[in-house]
Structure 1
Amino acid sequence: MAESIPMTVVDLSSGWSFKQADQVDESSWLPVKKVPSTVHQDLIDNDLLQDPFIGFNEIKAEWVGLKSWIYRTKIANPPAPDGARVVLAFDGLDTFAHVRLDGLTILKSDNMFLPYRVDVTGAIKSGTDHDLEIEFDSAFLKAREIKNQYPEHKFVCFNGDPARLAVRKAQYHWGWDWGPALMCAGIWKPVRLEIYSWRIADVRIDINISADQTVATIHTTANIEGAESDSDHSSVLARFDVSIGEKIIATNVAQCESNGWAASQLRVSNPERWMPNGYGQQPLYNVRVTITVDGIDLHTETRRVGLRKVELVQEPDSHGKSFYFRVNGVDIFCGGSCWIPADSFLTNITPEKYRAWIELMVPANQKMIRVWGGGIYEHDAFYNACDELGILVWQDFMFGCGNYPCFPSILRSIQAEAVANVRRIRHHPCLAIFAGNNEDYQVAESAHLTYDYEDKNEQHWLQSDFPARYIYESLLPKVCAAEAPSVAYHPGSPWGDGKISSDPTVGDLHQWNVWHGTQEKYQIFDSLGGRFNSEFGMEAFPHLDTIRWFVEKEEDLFPQSHVLDFHNKADGHERRIATYLVENVRTATKLETYIHLTQLIQCEALMFGYRGWRRQWGNERQCGGALVWQLNDCWPVTSWSIVDYFLRRKPAYYAMARALAPVAVGIRRAHHDWSVTHAREPRTQDWELWVVSSRLTEITADVEVRFVSVRTGLEIKDSIVKKGVWVRANGTTNVLEGCVDNIREEPHVLAARIWVGGELVGRDTDWPQPLKYLPFPGRKVKVEVVGNEMHVSAERPVKCLVFEEREGCHLSDSAIDVVPNDKQVIRVRGLAAGSPALRWTYLGAGEQ
C-alpha cells in the first residue's frame, strides 16, 4: 500500500498566452497577465482593443464575441508519488470550452456556472512539461446553433437575444437594459492541479439552535474521497472542531465510513448568535475538518458559519398572506437593494471591491441584498463580506426574463449547476432564501404561455410551451431540500402561490408601474406595493465625474448627447426621464443641473416608496421588505443604480438611509393628482405623522412638526410638539394628524423632527407637490466647515442639498432638506488635509 501524502495544490494562474483561434501564425500568441481573466481584458492589456466602456467602443468590441479564442500554458511534471491522484480543477470556464492536454481532449464544457475536475493521473506523469490548451467557442454563435436545434420551443424573453436561453452563461453578457452587450469568454475562475492520496470532497453543516437559544448543535458531514476507487476508508480519521477567534470550543474525531462519509455533532453552549446589520453583532465560528492517516494530516477544509435561524414567514392574515423574514425569532423589515454583477468583466472585481460595495450598505441601514438571476452565483468574497457585515442575501438561481428550454442535456447541466452552487454557498449565515428565477413567470404571462397551477403532473409541464416550470417547481426545490433544507425556497421572483405575478396580496412583487408600465406618479409608490417589494426603481444620471470618464469630447457634455444616450440602455428612457422631470421640476439644459434634477427625482421616488412601505411593516407586517433596483452598475451608465460604477453614491442612497434608520419619523399630506385636475389645487389636504422603530423594546420619544413658508422661511402657524410619545417596538406608531388649508395658508413645508433620550435622531419633510410650482430663489444657504464637519443652515426651506461625491471621501448624510432654525451637521471622513471644500448644490440653486 502506497504511503499517503498531504494534499498539494499547484496554482496555474501564470504563464498563459492566448490568440484568436483562426490565426495560425505562432507570432499571434499574446501574453496573459494572469488568470482568471477574460478575453476582452487580455486584448485591452495588449493594446488590441479600446476600453468598451468609453464612448462608443462597445460597438467596436462586438467582433470579439463572434470569434473563438485559445489559451495555453505549460505544466511542469508535478511531484506525484505512486498511489497519488492528480486532478486538473477548473472552478469556472466561460463557456464552451474544449480542453486539451498534450493534444488530447480531456474535457468539453458548456456551462459557465459549473466547476470541472479532470483526473489526469496517467497523462501527467510522463515527460517533464505538458501542454495545456483551452479553446473557447463563440457563445453567441453556439447559442444560435443550439436554439435552431429546438424549433418547437418558444424562445421568448425580455432583454438580449432569445438564443441566450439555450446557454448556461451569465445572461447579462447579451446586453440588458442597464448593461452593454459584451460576449465574454475565458478562464473566469481559478485553475489548479491537485495531488493527493485523500481529499475532503464536500463539507455539509446543519445548525440547530434550541428553542431557548442556549445551545447550538453543529452537525457536520464530510465526504472523503480516496486517490483510488478501491481505497480503504477505514484507515482515515476525520477530526472536527469548532472555534471562534483563536479559541477551540468543541472537538471530536470520527472514523470514516466505508461509503466515504464521516460525521460529527458538536455542541456550543450559550452561542453567540449572528444577527443582521442593525439588530446585533455578526460573530462567525470556524468549523474545521481535517482528515488524517497514521497520524499525518492530509487535508483540511474550513467553513465559516454563523449561529442563527432564518425563517420565511408566510401565513394568512387580513391582507392576504404574509411574506417576511424572521432571524433568531426577530422579525426583520428587509430594506435593501438588488445586485447585478459589478463589472461586465467579472475578473476585474477584486475581493476588496466586493467588500467596498457591501460596506456601503451598512451606514445606509440596509439589511438585504438580492443576487439577481441574470448574472452569476457570486464570488465567495461577496458572501464573505455579507457574513461579516450582517447583510442577508436573497439568492436567485441564474434564470432571468425568459422562457427557458428543458431539453435533456440542459436539464442535466442545470441539475449539476444547482448542486454545485448550493453546496458552495449554503454554509453562509447571510443566505436567507433561494429563488428559482427572475421574472420568468412574468414572461410566461406576457407571452400567454401555459401555466395551470392546479395541474401537478410534471410531464405535462415539460410537454407544455412553458417547460421551465419543471425547473422552478421540481428540479430546483428538490436540490435545495436535499442540499440546504434550512434555507427557504421560492419558485421565482416575483411569484405568489401560482397567482398572477402582480398580485399584491401574496408572495413578492416587482413594481414597475413607476418608470415602466403605466408610469404612475412616484408620490403614490407606497400604494402600489405588495407583501414584499423585491424590485422597483427610478433612473438617474451618474455623477458628472463618471460621465466625464466615458465622454471623450467636451462638445458631448450635454444631457441629450449621442454618447450619453448610448450609455443608457433602458427602452424609451428619453421619454420616461422627461416625463418625470416635466411633471415634477423645472427642467434645465445645463448638464450639471440636469444631473442633479434626475438624481433628485430618483431620490424623491425612492423616499416615497421606502418611507411608505416601512410604515406598512408595522401594520400587521403588510409589507415585509423593499429591495430597490438596483444598488450597483456593471459599467459607467445612466441606470436605476443608487451608486454608480465608480462607487459614487447618488442622492437616493442617502434618502434610503434616512427612511431605514433605526428610528425614523415620517410626515406627508394626502396625495392630490394635479395632472387629472389640470393643476387645480384641492381646498384642503389631510396630513399624518408617524414614527417607525426597528428597536426591539418600546421607547418614548418627543416629536415636533413645524409649518414653514416656502417663500419666506417663516412659520405660518404655531408648531406642534408632542412629548413622551410611546413608540411600538419593531413597528409603527401613528402620532399626529392635521389638515392643510390651501386657500388660507400659503405653500409651506411640513417639517418633522424626533428626539429619543434628548438626542435628535430623525427628520422628515413634506413639500407641496409638484415641486415645479414652487419658487426657489434666495434660499440663503450657509455651509460652514468646522474641522471634519460641515454645518448647514438656510434662511428659507431648501430641497435636496447635495454634496460632491469625491473619491475616498465619505459623508454621514447628503441630499438633505434644510429648514430655517434647524442647523444640520454633516460629518466628513477621508477628505485630505488642505483639500478644497466639497462643492454643493440644491433645487433652484441655478435660479439665483
Structure 2
Amino acid sequence: MASTTQTLAGWSWRRHGSDEEWHASAHSKPTTEIFVDLLDANVIPDPFLDQNERLVQWVGETDWEYRCEFLHEPNSSHSRQDLVFQGLDTYATVFLNESLILSSSNMFHRHRVDVTNVLKRGINTLRIVFRSALLEGRALQEKHGKYRAFNGEGSRLHVRKAAYHYGWDWGPLLLSCGPYREIYLESYASIVYDVFANAEVAEDLQQATLNVSWDANFETNGDVEVIVTSPTQRTFHSICTIVTGNSQNSVSFKIPQPELWYPIGHGPQAFYTVVVRACSNAGDTLHTSTITSGIRRVRLVQDVLVDEPGTSFFFEVNNQPIYISGTNFIPDHSFLTALTPNDYAATVESCLQGNQNMLRVWGGGIYEHDALYAECDRRGVLVWQDFMFACGQYPCYPEFAESVKKEAADQLKRLRNYCSIVLYAGNNEDYQVIEDLGLQYDPDDHSGDWTGTDFPARTIYENYLPAAMNQYAPNVPYHPGSPWGGKRSDDCTVGDIHQWNVWHGSQEPYQLWDKLTGRFVSEFGMLSLPSVNSVPRFVTDPAQRHPQSEVMDLHNKAEGGERRLAAYVLENIRVDSMRLESWTYATQLIQAECLAFAVRSCRRQWKGRGRAYCGGQIIWQLNDCWPVSSWGMIDFYGERKLAFYSTKRESAPIVIAIHRSTPELKRVKFPPIPIPGAPHDLAKKSYIFDIWAVNTTLQEADVKVVVRLFDTETGQLREERILQRQVLPSNRSTELVEDEKVDEKTAVQAILFANSQIISRASDWPQPLKHAHLPTSYHVNLKVLDDRVEVTSTAPVKGLELYMTNEGRRICWEDNCADVFPGDTYVIHAKGLVKGDDVRMRYYGMDWVPNSG
C-alpha cells in the first residue's frame, strides 16, 4: 500500500508551568505562533498599534507550550511512522504521548523522527514546550562569553533564530515562538525523499547531464523508478534496485539540446518534472516524490577589467550576462505564520511591476517559505540567498558549529531544486562588523581555522558553509559574505559593497552617487515615512498623527533617523509645512530622488564585455514587517511609496538618463579623493550635463532622442534639439551626449522614442532643488479617464504624485511621482480608475508657489 501523509493541525496553547486551561487556537491552520494566538484570544493588545510594543515584552520572556491531538489508525502495510518537523521556533522539547521524542534548539533545523514505537491506535497527543529564546540566549552568553552585535542585544548571536525578532533598525522587538512550519506524520513501508535534480550544462549549452539523487528507507529490497519529463514532453527513464534500510542513491541522464530556464527578459521559464517512485518487488507503488526544476548554467563572473582597477562581479545565466536591478527582501511580517502563499506571490508581482529581476533574501530573517522560491522560479526572478547570519561577531564553539552545519545541510537540501537561486552568501555585514570593531581579520590568512581568534565565525563562512555547498548544492556559486571581495568590505573595485555613505557613514549628498558605485552594490537606501493613508491604521489617536509625535517616533527604529532624515530633506528641498501630508511627501520625494540617482549611476557602468564596471544594484529595501518609517519602497499595508515608481522608471529595459555636474567634479573618480566645493568657494560655477541610454534587452534598438531645455524661473522652453537615429547596442549602456554646457537655472528633459513611441523620459534639475526658483504662475491639468490619467502642465513640474480620496478603494497606479514638462502629455495608467473619479495631486512647490494648480 502506498504511503500516507497526515498534516497536524488544531493547536492549543498555554503558559508552560502554569495550571491554566489549554486555549484552542482560533484558526485551524497547521502552523501557528504565540503572538498570533495571544492576539486572537485578546490576551494582548496589537503590538503594531500605537506604543503597544512596550506592553508585550513579557511574551518573549515566558515559556509556552503547544498541544495537538490526532487520530492514528495503524495499517499493516506500513511498518514505519515518522513525524517530520519542518521548523520549530526555537528552543523546543517535543513529547508524543508524554514520551520525549525530540529536543531542538535551532529554528532552521528540520527533523525526521521515527515514532513507530511511540504511536498508539486512536488519539495521540503531541506536546511541545517552547522555552524563552531570550532567556536561553542570555544563559549561553553567560557560559560562552559576550559577542558584539549591531542591532538587537548580543545574546542573539548564540541563538539560531530569526535575528530580526530581536529588533532591527526597521523592526520591533517581538520574540515569538511556536510550530511555525508544518509538522506531518508519514506512514510507509518504503520511502524516497530529499530528491535533488542537479544539472551540469555544457559550456556550449548543447547538452546537459542531469544527476538525480535521493535518500531512501526500504523495509525490504525493492526498486526505484526515475522518470524525467522535459517541458516539451520528452521523457527519460531509469530503474535501480534498492536494498533494505537507509541508503543514498543516484542516477544520471544525458539530455541533448536541453530546454533551459532563463530569468525574466532573457528567455522562457522552462521546467523539467522529476518523478521518483519507490516500488515493491511486485511493482506496486509504495511512495512517490515529485519535483519540478529548471535546467540552467549559472556563473558568478569576477574577471579582470579593462581600463579600471579590480574585477567584475556579475551573474551569467546560460552564457548571457545579466545586469541585476534588484531589491532586498526582509520577512514580510513580524509574525511569520500570518503570511500566506498569496502574500509571497504579491511580493514577486511587485518586483516584476517595479522592473526588478532579483530578490535578495537577507541574512537577518529566515530561509524563506517555499512559496516565495516557487514563485520566483515560475516568474523568472533571480534570488540571492543569504545564510542566516547578520550584523554580528558570531561565535563558533563546538555545539554552535554543529548546529550550523545541520542548519546548512537541512536548508540546502530544501532549497537546492529552486533554479531561481543563483547565489548563496555566507552572511550579511559580519566582515564589516569585524572591521568596524578592529578585531582580528587578515584577508591574506587562508589557514582555514579561525576559531581561536576574535573572528571565530570566519571558520563558518570560509570553511563549513563552502563544504556544505559542495556537498548539497554544487551547482550554485558561493560568496563568503555580503559585502565581501577578499579585501576590505568597503573596497568598491572588487566583490560587492553595501554603499551606506548616503544615510549612514559619511552621509554624502545623494547627488554624488556617480562617485559611490562599486562592482556590485547589494545594499543602499534612503529612509522615508509610510504613506499618509497608512498612518491612521496604526496611530489610533488623531492627536498623535503628526511627524514628531511619540507614537511616530516609536515607529521609527533607525538610530538618529529623525535627525538624518531632516538633514537630507532640508539640504535638498524647500519645506513650508510640518503637517503629516507635507512632511510625508517631502521624505518620500527625497527617497525617490536618492534611489533614482543611485540606480541610474550604477546602470551607466554596465558597459559591455570587459567593462562591466557595475554588474547590478539591489535596493534596500522592498518591504516592511510592521508599520514603520523605513527604507522600504512598499509600506507594511501595501502602499507603494514614491521611490517604487522612480526606481521602476530607472530600471526599465531601455531607459534614457541625464546627469549634471561641474567639469571639476566630473574628473573625480573614486572616494576618498576630496570632493571640490568647500563652503567658502565663492567662484561662479559652470555646469555640464551628460546623456546616456541603457539597453538591457537582447536586441539592439534604433531610437531617436529629443532634448529640451527649460528655464526653471519662467517655465519657458529655451531650446530643443533632436538626436536622429541612434543605435543602442544590446545589454549595455551607451553615451549619447557628453559635457554639454547648461545654465544652472535650467531643467533638462530628454525623451527617447522607438518606432515613434515614447519609450523613456528623463529629467535633470538644478541641485539642490531648494535653490531653484519656480514660476510664480502656472497650471497643471488632470484629465481623468477610465484606467488612466492624462497630465499636462504649462511649466516644468517636479515629482507629481496622484492619489485618491475615495475611502475603501485602492487604485494601483502603474506610474507616479512624475516630472511633467510643457508640450508633453504624461499618461499614467491606473487599474480600476473610472472616469470622473476624484483624483488629487501633490507636487514639489505646490505648498508655496502661490498661483500653481
Alignment of 1:167-316 (within 5 A): 167-226=159-218, 231-233=219-221, 235-244=222-231, 247=233, 249-256=235-242, 260-293=247-280, 294-316=282-304
Match of 1:73 in 2: 68
Q: Give 5+ residue unaligned stretches, structure 2.
A: 666-674
1:140 maps to 2:139: no
- For residue 426 of structure 1, the aligned residue among 416, 420, 426 is 416
* Displacement after TM superposition at 1:674 (Å): 10
Give the partner amino acid of 1:448. G
- 3-state SS of paired residue (2:53): helix
Q: Which moved more, 1:371-380 or 1:613-622?
A: 613-622
How far did residue 363 of structure 1 move? 2.2
* Structure 1 position 748, deviation (Å): 1.6
Cα distance, 1:407 vs structure 2: 1.2
- Segment drifting more, 293-302 vs 664-673: 664-673
- The worse-fitting range, judged by mean Cα deviation, of 807-816 and 719-728 is 807-816
Aligned equivalent of 1:846: 847
C-alpha contact (below 8 Å) 2:9/2:68 kept by paired residues:
no
State the one-letter code of the partner of 1:471. I
Q: Secondary structure at the match of 1:836?
A: coil
Question: Alignment partner of 2:70: what SS?
Answer: strand
Superposed displacement of residue 96, structure 1: 0.5
- Name 1:417's counterpart in structure 2: 407
Gaps of 5+ in 1: none
Does the aligned pair in 2 maintain the 1:319–1:622 contact within 8 Å?
A: no
Question: Is 1:658–2:649 an aligned residue pair?
Answer: yes
Aligned-partner SS, 2:82 = strand
Q: Is 1:7 aligned to residue 3 of structure 2?
A: yes
- The aligned runs of 1:283-682 (5 Å cut-off) are 283-293=270-280, 294-317=282-305, 318-459=308-449, 461-497=450-486, 499-587=487-575, 588-618=577-607, 620-670=611-661, 676-677=678-679, 682=684
* CA-to-aligned-CA distance 1:586-637 (integer Å, 9 cap, x gap): 1221111111110000000001100011001116100011001101100111
Q: CA RMSD in A?
A: 2.0
Q: Distance in 2 between matches of 1:739 and 1:767?
A: 15
* 1:790 aligned partner, one-letter code: V
Who is 2:771 aligned against?
773
Deviations 1:21-49 (A, max 9, x none): 13214366766643311100100111111
1:157 paired to 2:126: no
Q: Distance in 2 between the 1:486 and 1:463 partners?
A: 32
Amino acid at match of 1:183: L
The code of the aligned residue for 1:424 comes to R
Query: In the alignment, which residue of structure 2 is the partner of 1:818?
Result: 820
More displaced stretch, 777-786 vs 584-593:
777-786
SS at match of 1:175: strand
Distance 1:590 1:804 in 2: 17
> How far is 1:376 from its partner?
0.2
- Between stretches 264-273 and 316-325, larger displacement belongs to 264-273
Counterpart of 1:523, as a letter, is Q
Indicate the SS of the match to 1:282. Answer: coil
SS of the equivalent of 1:732 reads: strand
Q: What SS does the corresponding residue of 2:172 show, helix, strand or coil?
A: coil
Query: Which position in structure 2 is the counterpart of 1:730?
Result: 731
The residue identity in structure 2 corresponding to 1:838 is V
Give the letter for the 1:570 counterpart: A
* Residue 753 of structure 2: aligned partner: 755
Q: Is the 8 A contact 1:33 1:42 kept in 2?
A: no
Distance 1:447 1:373, change over 3 A: same
Q: How far is 1:677 from its partner?
A: 3.8
CA distance in 1, matches of 2:188, 2:278: 12
Residue 59 of structure 1, CA deviation: 0.8
Residue identity matched to 2:126? L
1:137 Cα offset (Å): 0.5
Cα deviations by residue, 1:101-154 (Å, 9 ceiling, x for unpaired): 2222111110000111221101113x5322211111110011000110013xx5
Per-residue CA deviation, residues 804-838 of structure 1 (Å, 9 max, x unaligned), is 2786532221111011001111111134x578333
Q: Which residue of 2 aligns with 1:699?
A: 701
Instruction: Give the letter aligned to residue 437 of structure 1.
Output: N
SS at match of 1:603: helix
Answer yes or no: is the 8 Å Cα contact 1:19–1:70 preserved in 2.
Answer: yes
Aligned residue type for 2:482:
S
Q: Which amino acid is 1:701 matched to?
A: V
- Is the partner of 1:113 in helix, strand or coil? coil
Give, as a single letter, the amino acid of the residue that structure 1 aligns with 2:784.
V
Equivalent pairs: percent with the same residue?
39
Which whole-Å deviations, capped at 9, do the CAs of 1:447-492 have from their partners, x for residues lacking one? Answer: 1111122323334x11111100000000000000111111000000
Structure 1 distance, partners of 2:778, 2:316, is 46
- Determine if contact 1:536/1:629 at 8 Å carries over to the other structure: yes
Give the counterpart letter for 1:668 in structure 2.
H
Specify the code of the residue in structure 1 equivalent to 2:764: D
Q: Bigger shift: 338-347 or 271-280? A: 271-280
Give a deviation string over 1:642-674, Cα, whole Å, max 9, x none. Answer: 111122111111111111111111112115789
Q: Relative to structure 1, is the Cα distance of residues 516 and 457 closer, same or farther in structure 2, using a 3 angstrom cutoff? A: same
Distance 2:303 2:680 in 1: 43
8 A contact 2:696–2:731 mirrored in 1: yes
Q: How much does 1:797 deviate?
A: 0.4
Aligned amino acid, residue 409 of structure 1? E
Residue identity matched to 1:391: V
Segment of structure 1 superposing worse, 295-304 or 378-387:
295-304
Q: Secondary structure in 2 aligned to 1:657? A: helix
Q: Deviations over 1:549-591 (max 9, x none)?
A: 0011111111111111110100000110010011001122111
Q: How far 1:696 moved relative to its partner?
A: 1.9
**30-39 or 720-729, which deviates more:** 30-39
The AA in structure 2 aligned to 1:145 is A
Q: Distance in 2 between matches of 1:276 and 1:255?
A: 38
2:583 partner SS: helix
Are residues 680 and 700 of structure 1, via their aligned partners in 2, closer, same or farther at CA, if it must alter by over 3 Å?
Answer: farther
Give deviations 1:215-236, integer Å, cap 9, x for gaps: 333221122112xxxx443x22
1:36 partnered with 2:15: no
1:793-812 matched pairs, under 5 angstroms: 793-804=792-803, 808-812=810-814
How far off its partner does 1:340 sit? 0.5
Please give the alpha-carbon distance, in whole angstroms, between the structure 2 residues aligned to 1:809 and 1:96. 44
Which residue of 1 is the match for residue 671 of structure 2? none
Q: TM-score, normalised by structure 2?
A: 0.94
Q: Which amino acid aligns with 2:212?
A: T
Q: Is the 8 A contact 1:17 1:31 kept in 2?
A: no
Q: Is the 8 A contact 1:308 1:327 kept in 2?
A: yes
- Give 1:111's aligned residue: 106
Cα deviations by residue, 1:227-264 (Å, 9 ceiling, x for unpaired): xxxx443x22323222438x453333333367734433
SS in 2 for 1:299: strand
SS state of the match for residue 173, structure 2? coil
Moved more, 210-219 or 282-291: 210-219
- 2:687 aligned to which of 685, 688, 703: 685
